[in-house]
Every structure is written in structure tokens, then in C-alpha cells.
Structure 1
Amino acid sequence: MGRGRGGVAQHLAEGQSRVGPAPVGGPGGRGPPGRGGATPGPGGARSAAAAAVMAGAERRDGPGPRAPVLLVLGAAAVSLVGAQVTSETREVPEHKPADIPCSAYRFGLSNPRIEWKFQKGSSLVLFYYGGELTDSYKNRVQFSPNVIHFSTVTREDTGKYICEVVGSGNQIAKSEVNLIVQVPPAKPVAHVPTSATIGSKAVLRCTETDGSPPPTFRWYKDSMLMPPNPKTSPTFRNSSYTLDPATGELIFEPLSGFDTGDYYCEATNNVGSPQKSAVVHMEASEVNVGGIVAAVVVLLMVLALVAFGIWFAYSRGFFKRKE
């Protein structure tokens, strides 16, 4: 049995190279048939080969324990009958027709059963099953085994389309298409503080929610484009900021007097024309030391007047108890 266990891997390799697509139930084949049976098509011949290899291993090893053989065969069966997956991405302008192919259908599984699913975020919806489209797709989607055709797409159709084909031998092929419905960005909104203290942290944000794919952002100060790294530009080298084009966030830390100016942002996603926000003025100012001193002086004067009033009242006997 030691020789049988050690020779299983070698016999498996030899059996895979020798076995053809013939059915397993021929002469000398005492092992169980593969899950694909004798039906022609991808996976059938390979399942028969796996069964023939198991039968050959049984003849070589004799009636002893065959657990090692079954473990090796189980690993081979998973790889032969497991799901085959393809994936691609397609971009289509909004309100235009779109074709979503089912590449899994090309694997040629016998007696295929086709299902279509739509995934958006954590939501997964079955929209073609049992030869019928669900109600929300009936009026604008046409089905054929290898493709679904949208007469028109909207931004709500952006997501992942999953085509799953199951053959008669429980073989599975799956294809995925990530559909991006192209939508130009709307006018973004620039969130800019109108005043900020020099030396503090100032955060400017640019937001836009309509664009698909999500837009990238650029910032302008006094109508001049701000580079991602201020030290690379002679115009902005005296400023200290970080700029994230993906989120549209512009952070000054620390803020300097040079950063006073008129700001606006721009959103673009290569669909339509770039969109600009309204202009907002930000004033970077020093801490008003004089104002603080004046406020303290006024407060002290008020406290002094209150104290004097209390003393005067006591001295005139206004707070003495009557006997």
C-alpha cells in the first residue's frame, strides 16, 4: 500500500494524458462515472478521465484503504467542474442603447440554464430566471442566450450584471459585466470659509453627486489653477496645503496671509464639459490682539464699576438689617 499511496499523483498525471473522451463504463472501468457522464462538451471528457484514473488507481492498489486516492481525486474534481468566471467593464452614455454580453454562454455547456442578476452595492436582484424577465425590465430589455439588449440606459442602471450558466452536469460558467452609465457632472458646490485665522487649519471642500463615473476635482485661486503640490509652482510656493483630486478636499495647514483670495472648484469626468462652482472669497487674518486687549480692559472697567456700586451701597447703609 505504501507504493500505491506514493504512486497516486504519478498515476493521476499518466491517466490524464492517456484517457480520451470515451465513456467510463467500458471494459475494465469499475469506478463510478464522472459527473459530466458521457455527454460531449466541456467538462464531460474531463470528468470521465477523472473516474478512469480512480479506477486505475484501485486496480494498482488492490482492496486496501483508498482514502488518499479519494482525497486527490476530490481536489481534481473541484478544479474540473468548478465555476469559470470572466469579467469586463463597459461604459455607455446615458439614454443610449447598450448590449451586455453573456460570455459564459460561449463555454458550450450542455442543456444550459441561464440566469441574470444585477448587483449594485450590497443589493443583488434576479431579473432573468426561468426564461422570463422581471417586470421592471420587460419593457426595455430584450433577451437572447448570449446577450441582453437595453433600448436605453439611465444612471440607475450602473452596476454589475452577472450571467450564470448551469449545465446538465452541474457545471457552472459565470460572466460579469461592470456597466458604467456615463453622466456628465453637474455644477459643483465649493464649501469655503469666508474667514480663517492665520496659523490655523482651513478645510475647503468641493462636492458633486451626479457625475458617472465619479468626477475628479481641481481648485482655482484668483482664477489660477492650483497644482497638487504647491512647492512645484513659483506662484504657490509660499502656501502650505494638500489637495486630493479624488475627494475634492483642499486643506491649508497652517494657513498663511498669502492664502487670502477668491476660490472656486471644477469637476470633470471626461463626459461632457467640466463644470465650475461659484466663487467664494476667503480672508486669512491675524489674531486681533488689540481687540482682545480692549475687550479685557472694558471687562475690568465693568467689574470695577460693579465693585464700586456695591461698596457705595454698603457705605450708605442700604444693606444693613432693620432691627
Structure 2
Amino acid sequence: MEVMKMLLLPLLSILLQSPLCTSVTVSSSKPKVEIHEHSDAVLSCEFRTEKDQSPRIEWKKKGKGVTFVYFNNKFTSSYTGRAKIEGATLTIHSVTQKDSGEYRCEVTASEDHINLGETIVTLNVLVPPHVPSCEVPSSVFVGAGLDLHCKDKLSVPPATYRWFKDNKALTATADTPYSIDTNKGTLKFKSVSKTDAGMYRCESSNNVGAPKSCVAQQLKVLEYPLNMTVLIAGAAGVLTLSLLCCICVCVCRRRGCCKKAKKTKSTKTYNPPPPPPPPIRNLKHYKQTQSFMI
């Protein structure tokens, strides 16, 4: 029995130390990479093969379609000169937002039992805030509704927004006559008053870089001129009068007050005109048949 143990222990030790891999295996120590714009992104890819000591390594990027990054031991045109590979780990220099996406590392070991392995690495390039575009009208009339817009389409992650009036940050509460959407960048007034006039600007931020602000723009609040007020009042009066007339006509028709009188047929008989008088005979044709004596 002791002899059997002495023979089995070395055999068990050899089995434990020998690789149990029967195919190529591929993995990544960091499957999600977040890096600032214009920095170097390292996409790790580690592999182990059963027999093949020189496997084929490929990198592909998934977007609208699948494009090659590294193929046939060289980089494709868009990555030539700005990327390198060590083992199977890919490094892209000075990344931009266009480099964000899903990358796939593929290792093909033709001599292994299962000869293909792959792993996926997601790259997210962080972009600091850019100067936002601000929409502020030059003037607005008292009492009108007003929306101011602010947008930064380039920052990653998406920016949040703050509005300033005369260099003072605006904070919306239940008592303020305006509301602010910090995610969409809108500043809304239900009814503008004279006190809302001033210099307005917007600031975008996303914790990647320093906040950026647009140039402050002047907003003037105007009162309606007198002739405009009279014109609006007159138009409102005419509209009200027309509406009342229409209502009166409808009510009258429903009650039968506006029915048209039926036309009665005439009982007069037709009398033809008298015949024309007989024509006078021509005197030239008249002959005297008797003579008269006095």
C-alpha cells in the first residue's frame, strides 16, 4: 500500500503541474477602458495556446460594420503610424472621439484542437466641454413666453448646463418666474417682465475638463406701443362682436324667427292688348260716284 502511494504521489504532482488547456484561450485584464481625448489607450489582450507557438493575431473594430485594425501583421491605413502591438496588446496613440467603440482581439492557433479564441475590449474616449451654442433673442415683448437654448454636442459624457444673468447664476425655485432644465440646457419664462432684461450666458460642464461658457448676450424687454395696443383691442372687439352675431343668428334660426316668407302665386289673369286700328285708305284711289248740288 505504501508502495502504491509512493508511485501515485509523483504522478499526481506531474498532472497538477502540467497544463490542462486543450485549446487557445484569450482574455483581457481590462475589458473596459476610459481615457481622455488625445491620450494613449492601451487595449490589453492575453492569450495561451496548446501547441501553436506562433498564432495569428487580429484586431477588429465594431461600428456600423466591422473594420480591421490589425491584420496580416500590419495596421490598416487609418491606424498606421499611430498604433503599436506588443504580444497581442494594442496601444492607440492620441485617441479622439472617433476611436471610441468596441474592439475585438482574435487569436488563431491552427495547431490547437480548438484553434480560435477572442475577447472584447470597449474603449470610451472622454471629451472635455466645448464652448456651447447659446440662443438668446435680442428683444421680447412684456408678457410673452420665452425659451433660451444652450447646447454642447461634443462633450463626452454629455454636459450639464447652468444659466447666468449679469454674471449671477440663476437657480430655479417654486417662486421664480422661470424654470431650468440642466440636462437639455433650456431656460424657460412663462411671462417675461421688465425685470428680466439683462445679459445672459450659459455654461457647460461634465467633470472631464474645465467648464466652458458662451459669450453673454443682451436681452431687451419691450412694452407694446400704444397704437399696437389699440389695434389689438380693436381686433379683439371685432372678433367678439362677430362671435355674438353668429350666436344670435344660430339661436334665431333654431327658434324659427329667421324663416323666409313663402312666395304666393298671383291670381291676376292675362289680358292681351287691343288690336291695332285699321289702316287709312289711300286718297288717290278714291273716285267720286255722285255729284252734289247746292
Q: Taking structure 2 as the reference length, what is the TM-score of the superposition? A: 0.58
CA distance in 2, matches of 1:206, 1:156: 24
1:270 to 1:40, Cα distance in 2 relative to 1, 3 A: same
Conserved in 2, the CA contact under 8 Å of 1:161 and 1:179?
A: no
1:88 Cα deviation from its structure 2 partner: 0.9
Aligned to 1:114: 57
Aligned to 1:244: 182
1:271 to 1:113, Cα distance in 2 relative to 1, 3 A: same
What is the letter of the counterpart of residue 124 of structure 1? V
The 5-angstrom pairing of residues 19-38 of structure 1 reads none
Aligned to 1:136: 78
CA distance in 2, matches of 1:41, 1:279: 66
1:288 to 1:150, Cα distance in 2 relative to 1, 3 A: same
1:41 is aligned to 2:21: yes
Conserved in 2, the CA contact under 8 Å of 1:101 and 1:147?
A: yes
CA distance in 2, matches of 1:296, 1:255: 20
1:40 Cα deviation from its structure 2 partner: 4.3
| Partner SS state of residue 156, structure 1 | helix
1:84 Cα deviation from its structure 2 partner: 8.2
Give the aligned length: 210
The 5-angstrom pairing of residues 286-301 of structure 1 reads 290-294=227-231
1:217 Cα deviation from its structure 2 partner: 1.9
Unpaired runs of 5+ residues, structure 1, are 1-21, 23-38, 45-80, 232-236, 298-323
Q: Deviations over 1:116-141 (max 9, x none)?
A: 12245x35321112332112222121
1:255 is aligned to 2:191: yes
1:277 Cα deviation from its structure 2 partner: 0.8
CA distance in 1, matches of 2:205, 2:218: 23
What is the letter of the counterpart of residue 95 of structure 2? V
Aligned to 1:177: 122
| Partner SS state of residue 31, structure 2 | strand
Larger Rg: 2
1:273 to 1:142, Cα distance in 2 relative to 1, 3 A: same
The 5-angstrom pairing of residues 63-74 of structure 1 reads none
1:280 Cα deviation from its structure 2 partner: 1.5
1:197 to 1:164, Cα distance in 2 relative to 1, 3 A: farther
Conserved in 1, the CA contact under 8 Å of 2:37 and 2:97?
A: no
Q: Deviations over 1:65-89 (max 9, x none)?
A: xxxxxxxxxxxxxxxx9x9898313
| Partner SS state of residue 291, structure 1 | helix
1:43 Cα deviation from its structure 2 partner: 6.5
Q: By percentage of residues, which structure has more helix?
A: 1
Aligned to 2:31: 87
CA distance in 1, matches of 2:226, 2:179: 26
| Partner SS state of residue 230, structure 1 | coil
Identity within the alignment, % = 26
Unpaired runs of 5+ residues, structure 2, are 1-14, 235-294
Conserved in 2, the CA contact under 8 Å of 1:100 and 1:147?
A: yes
Tell me which of 155, 167, 172 is aligned to 1:223. 167
1:123 to 1:283, Cα distance in 2 relative to 1, 3 A: farther
